[in-house]
Amino acid sequence: MTAMAERTSQMSVEEFETIAAAAPETVTLEFINGRIGVKKVTDGDHGTMVSWLARRCMQSRPDLDLYRAQGLRVDASREGRAKPDAVIAPEAHFAGHGEWADPDGALMVVEVTSYDSDTDRRDRHEKPTAYGQAGIPLHLLIDRDSCTVTVHSGPDRQIGGYRAVHTAKFGEKVLVPDPIGIELDTEILKNYVR
């Protein structure tokens, strides 16, 4: 059993959902590995990167929708709660779903790192593990600290994470494999980092 699996939960998922529902709109809460986390409010560059990706996806794949702030039930037992910066799914897939939707049908989750102390643990380690355990086919990480784009594919539901990880520097072309199947020219992302 891994150290993360042995960790005692701070609260039940029901208690977390009650707290998250009462939080002001300026605060985004997540619950991963039994711990509550506060997702930093995005800045203009962060939002611009998500908008850039939305345009690329919509131009190449108009049959897909990009959802911002759609909560997902993640990890192997669906007891985690994550709010990716974006979720790409078939058109109208999340219609009628509540704040915390089942990840089945999500084709890709997207995270853009924030400049805070939790980014390494949360965005680079815990979330890829949880998304892989949930069986989400692709996870795209836009890392503003290292100026890289990482494509995670081949989810591993047993141990979490992904079997294939490809990282490219900003400025390189990145192939996002099926089920998205697009190529991204990441040159412009150099303009949106400190």
pTM of the entire predicted model: 0.89
DSSP 47: H
pLDDT, tens digit, for every residue of 63-97? 999 999 899 999 878 889 999 999 999 999 999 99
Cα 163 to Cα 148: distance, rounded to the nearest angstrom: 19
Amino acid at 7: R
Closest to 189 measured CA to CA, from 162, 166, 161, 170: 170
In three-state secondary structure terms, 184 is: strand
Report yes or no: 48 and 192 within 8 Å, Cβ to Cβ.
yes
From residue 68, alpha-carbon distances to 3, 51, 156, 171 in Å are: 31, 10, 25, 25
Cα 54 to Cα 94: distance, rounded to the nearest angstrom: 17
Cα 82 to Cα 182: distance, rounded to the nearest angstrom: 25
Element holding 100 (H helix, E strand): strand 100-101
Cα 133 to Cα 5: distance, rounded to the nearest angstrom: 12
pLDDT, tens digit, for every residue of 86-137? 999 999 999 999 899 999 999 999 999 988 777 778 889 999 999 999 999 9
Instruction: Classify residue 65 by burial, with Cβ atoms within 10 Å: 0-12, 13-18, 19+.
Output: buried
Cα 20 to Cα 75: distance, rounded to the nearest angstrom: 18
Residue 5 has pLDDT above 50, yes or no: no
Structural domains of the chain ordered from first start: 43-192 (3.90.1570.10)
- Confidence (pLDDT) at 185: 97
How many other β-carbons are positioned within 10 Å of the β-carbon of residue 173? Answer: 11
- Confidence (pLDDT) at 1: 36
Residue 164 has pLDDT above 70, yes or no: yes
